Amino acid sequence: MIRWLVGLIGLGLAATSALAAEPALIGVGYLGLAGTRSTLSLVEQPAENDGVAGARLAIEDNNTTGKFLGQRFALEERRIKEGEDVVQAATALAEKNGFIITDLPADALLKISDALRDRGTLLFNAGAIDERLREADCRANVIHTAPTRAMLADALGQYLVWKKWSRWLLVVGSHDEDKLFADALRRTATRFGAKIVQEKTFEDKGGARRTDSGVTLIQRQMPVFTQGAPAYDVLVAADESEVFGAYLPYRTWDPRPVAGSAGLVPRSWDAAQDQWGAIQMQNRFMKLNSRRMTALDMQAWTAARMIGEATSRTNSSDVKKVTDFIKGPDFSVAAFKGTRLTLRDWNLQLRQPILLVDGRMVVSVSPQEGFLHQVSELDTLGYDRPESKCKLK
Amino acid sequence: MQAEVRTQMLRMWRVGLLSGLALAAAPAHAFIAYVSNEKSNTVTVIDTESWTVTKTIKVGQRPRGIDFTRDGKFVMVAVGDDDTIQVIDAKTQAVVDSLPSGPDPELFAQDAAGKFLYVANENDNTVTVIDLEKRARLGDIQVGVEPEGMTISPDGKTLINTSETTNMAHFIDTASRQIVANVLVDARPRFAEFKHDASEVWVSSEIGGTVSVIDPKKHEVIGKVTFEIPGLRKEAIQPVGIGMTKDDKTAFVALGPANRIAVVDVASRKVTKYLLVGQRVWHMAFTPDEKYLLTTNGVSNDVSVIDVAAQKVIKTIQVGELPWGITIAP
C-alpha cells in the first residue's frame, strides 16, 4: 500500500516537471472571408494573405519573446466562402483558440461575438471600420485594432485645416459604405471648421475596372464631372467601393489636390512608413511574406502583438486573465507609431495616430499639432467619451 | 583696525593662492566630441574648449551608435544601412577601416580591455561578438526582437542587451556567451547603463515612459523612475539615453520629444530637476572631467551643453541632420 502510494506520488512529480518544461500553448485564430476585393489601381490590389500575413509576423515576434518565458503561440487561419456559416466556423476556431482575430463585415462580427460571448473567447476586430461596432452595437468581447471612419476622416480633416485647405468639394459614391464615409467627413468638416462648398454623387453604373483603353475615356470623363464647381481648395472623395476615387487626381477641371479615398489617404499603416523604428518591422515583414505591409496587415499584427504583450506581462496563458489585463488600466502596446497605444475603455477601440499617405510617402501623421485634448491627443480623432453611445455588455 | 585689514588681505591672498593651486591641479582640458548625424551620413567633430565644430566627416549610411576605442586612438561608428561599423582615425579624422558586424548594427558595447565588441543587430535578433584586434567576427548570440541597448558590467562578466519589441533586458554571460536571465521591463527598452559600483542596471523604456532599476544579481526589477512634467502629455515623455556620474549620485535621463533631460537622484530614484534642451533628445556623453554633459537633439539638429555642477544648459551647438549618438575622447 505504502509502496503503491510512493509510486503514485513519484508519478505525480514526474508529470508536474514534464509539464513545467513544456511551453504553455496560446492559440490565436484568424477568421476572414475568402477571396479579395477588386481595386481600381492594380498596384493596390490586396494579396490573398492580406491581414493574416501581419498576424503571422506578430506570432513569430511573440514566439521569440515566448521562448524566454515558456510560452508558444500558434496561429490557425480559417477563410469563409460564400454561403458558409460564420458562427459555425467561429465556434470551431474557438475550440482551440482563446483569441480570434477577425477581418469580417460588421454584421458577421456581431453574430459571432454574440455566439461566443459565454465561451469567454476574446475577439479582435482588425478589419471593420464601422462606427456602429464601437457605438450602439459595441460588444464587451470585441477589441478594435482597426480605426473607425470618423478617426480616419478626422485625421485627414485636421491636416487639411492645418494646411488651410478649408473649402472642400465632396464627391460621394453611391454605395452604402461610401455614404458612411461621407457622413464621417461631414462631421469632421463641422468639428474642425472646414466648409463643404458642394456635394456631388458619383453613380456606380457598373462596368469593368480593367479595360484596354480605359485611360482615354477617364481622361475625358473626369474633368467634365468636376466642371462648374464653386471655388474650392481640395476635392475630398468618399469612394470605399473603388468605383471612381483613383480616377480623380490630375483629372479635375480645376487644378486642385484630391484627398480621402484617393490622393492623400488616411490609413493606420503604409508600406512607406519608416519612422519610429518601423523600418525593422517592415524588413521583417518583407522577409517573411515577400511583399510590403498594408494597413490591414498592421491591424492584425497589432492584435496578435496585444495578445503577446498581455501574456508576457501577466506571465500567463489564461484567456480570462489575459483579457482582463488587456481591458485594464495598465495596458499599452508599442506599434511603431511614436507613442504607446492604449484602449478607449468605454468602447475598447485602440487609440492610434493615423498616417496620411500618397501611395509613395508618408506625408504627415495626425493628430496634428495644436489639436489638444485633456486626456490624450489621440482622442481628438473619432468619437470621444462624452459623445459615445456605447454601453459595453 | 589695521590688524583687521591685514587679516582680511591675508585671507584674500590665501584664497587667491588656493584657487590658483586648484587651477593648476585641474587645468581646463579641451576635449574632442564626435557626434553621429543619422540623416546627413556624417560625423561632426566638436572642440569642447571653443564649443565650435572643427570638422565634419563623411561616413556610411545611417550612422548611429558611436564610441571611442579604449586607447582613444579610434572612433567606431555603426552605419546601419551599410551593415558595418566604420573606424575613424582620431588623429587624421578620416575613415580608415570597417568591422564585420551583422546586418543593421545600431548600438554596441566593448569590454573594459577593449578586446571584444558586442553589437546589437536590429534586423536579425542577434548580438554579434567581434574581436577588435583581429577585426574578426567570433559569433552571434540569439536575443529578443529588435535588440538595441547594450552595456557591460564593470567586471566585464555580464553583457546586458535590451530588445525593443520583446521588452526585455537579456543578461548574457560574456565567457560562455549564453543568456543567463531575461528581465521584463516596460515597452520599447532603448538603453541600459550600469552604476559604476555594479549594484544596479538602469534600463530606459521609450514607449513605457519609465526607467527600470534592475538588481543584476537577483535579475529583478527593484524600482522604477517615473517622470512627470506639468503641461506635457504623458505620451511625449520617452526616456532613451542615460548618463550617470562617477560617484553614482546623479543620473541624467534624456526624455526624447519632451525636449528635456531629467536630473535624477540615484539613491531615491526621484527626479530633482528637468533641463530644457533641444528637440527630441536621445543620447549623451560626459567630458572626462565630468564638468560638462553633451546631449544630441535630433529634431533641432543641435547639441546642448550642460554644466553638470550647476545643472544648467549653457550652450547649443548646431551639428548635422538628426544627431543621434555622441562620444568624447578619453
pLDDT of chain A, 393 residues: tens digit per residue: 445 444 444 444 444 444 456 899 999 999 999 988 889 999 999 999 999 999 999 999 999 999 999 999 999 999 999 889 999 999 999 999 999 999 999 999 999 999 999 999 999 999 999 999 999 999 999 999 999 999 999 999 999 999 999 999 999 999 999 999 999 999 999 999 999 999 999 998 877 676 666 777 888 899 999 999 999 999 999 999 999 999 999 999 999 999 999 999 999 999 999 999 899 899 999 999 999 999 999 999 999 999 999 999 999 999 999 999 999 999 999 999 989 999 999 999 999 999 999 999 999 999 999 898 888 899 999 999 999 999 997
Q: What's the confidence (pLDDT) of residue B191? A: 96
Question: CATH for A150-265, among 1.10.1200.30, 3.50.50.60, 3.40.50.2300, 3.40.50.300?
Answer: 3.40.50.2300
In whole angstroms, what separates CA A362 from the centre of its chain? Answer: 17
Which of chain A's residues have a Cβ under 8 Å away from the Cβ of B165?
Answer: 61, 65, 281, 305, 334
Sequence spans of domains, chain B: 1-30, 31-328
Only one residue has cell 510590403, namely A292
Q: pTM above the 0.80 mark?
A: yes
Cβ neighbours of residue A87 under 8 Å, at least 6 residues apart? A111, A112, A115
Q: Closest partner residue to A64 among B125, B188, B207, by Cβ?
A: B125
Residues of chain A with CATH 3.40.50.2300: 24-147+270-352, 150-265
Which of chain A's residues have a Cβ under 8 Å away from the Cβ of B209?
Answer: 340
HEC string of B8-45? HHHHHHHHHHHHHHHHHHCCCCCCEEEEEECCCCEEEE
Q: Is the peptide bond before B239 cis (omega within 30 degrees of 0)?
A: no
Q: Does B144 contact A65 at a Cβ distance shorter than 8 Å?
A: yes
Which grid coordinates belong to A209?
475596372
Cα(B184)–Cα(B76) distance, integer angstroms: 30
Chain B interface mutation, best of A59, A60, A62, A65, highest count of B Cβ atoms under 10 Å = A65
Which of chain B's residues have a Cβ under 8 Å away from the Cβ of A380?
Answer: none
Which of chain B's residues have a Cβ under 8 Å away from the Cβ of A338?
Answer: 257
The residue in chain A having the minimum alpha-carbon distance to the alpha carbon of residue B179 is A68
Q: Closest partner residue to B164 among A277, A313, A377, by Cβ?
A: A277
What is the three-class DSSP state of A146?
coil
Cα(A380)–Cα(A359) distance, integer angstroms: 25
In chain B, the percentage of residues whose pLDDT exceeds 90 is 81
> How distant is the Cα of B79 from the closest Cα of chain A, in angstroms?
15
Which of chain A's residues have a Cβ under 8 Å away from the Cβ of B163?
Answer: 65
pLDDT(B16) > 70:
no
Size of interface A-B (CB pairs under 8 A): 64
DSSP state of B269: T
Alpha helices per DSSP H over B106-224? none
Long-range contacts, A44-50 (Cβ 8 Å, 24+): A44/A246, A46/A294, A46/A296, A47/A291, A47/A294, A49/A289, A50/A294, A50/A296, A50/A297
The ipTM value here is: 0.73
Q: Which of B3-7, B151-155, B277-281 has the lowest mean pLDDT?
A: B3-7
The residue in chain B having the minimum alpha-carbon distance to the alpha carbon of residue A377 is B233
Q: Is B279 on the interface with A (CB under 8 A)?
A: no
Q: Closest partner residue to B187 among A65, A332, A378, by Cβ?
A: A332
Ranges of beta strands (E only) in chain A are 24-33, 71-80, 99-103, 122-125, 142-144, 167-173, 195-202, 234-238, 258-260, 265-267, 333-334, 340-341, 343-344, 349-350, 354-357, 362-366
The residue in chain B having the minimum alpha-carbon distance to the alpha carbon of residue A280 is B123
Q: Closest partner residue to B144 among A64, A284, A338, by Cβ?
A: A64
Q: Do B43 and B327 contact (CB within 8 A), yes or no?
A: no
Which of chain A's residues have a Cβ under 8 Å away from the Cβ of B164?
Answer: 277, 280, 334
Cα(A43)–Cα(A239) distance, integer angstroms: 17
Which grid coordinates belong to A141?
468581447
Q: What's the confidence (pLDDT) of residue B235? A: 83
Nearest to B161 by CA among B134, B138, B182: B182
Average pLDDT value for residue range B57-80 = 95
Domain A24-147+270-352 belongs to what topology? Rossmann fold (3.40.50)
- What tens digit of pLDDT does each residue of B242-256 get? 999 999 999 999 999
Nearest to B180 by CA among B158, B195, B152: B158
Which of chain B's residues have a Cβ under 8 Å away from the Cβ of A339?
Answer: 207, 235
Average pLDDT value for residue range B93-108 = 90
Count CA atoms closer than 13 A to A294's CA, side-chain side.
19
Domain B31-328 belongs to what topology? Methylamine Dehydrogenase; Chain H (2.130.10)
Q: Which of B98-112, B161-175, B309-323 has the lowest mean pLDDT?
A: B98-112
Q: Does A340 contact B145 at a Cβ distance shorter than 8 Å?
A: no
Cα(A154)–Cα(A363) distance, integer angstroms: 16
Q: What is the mean pLDDT of chain B?
A: 90
Q: Does A280 contact B122 at a Cβ distance shorter than 8 Å?
A: yes
Torsion angles phi and psi, residue B222, rounded to 5: -105, -5
Cα(A203)–Cα(B36) distance, integer angstroms: 56
Cβ neighbours of residue A191 under 8 Å, at least 6 residues apart? A154, A157
Q: Is B302 on the interface with A (CB under 8 A)?
A: no
Which of chain B's residues have a Cβ under 8 Å away from the Cβ of A379?
Answer: none
Helix A52-69 vs helix A295-314: angle between axes, to the nearest 10 degrees? 20
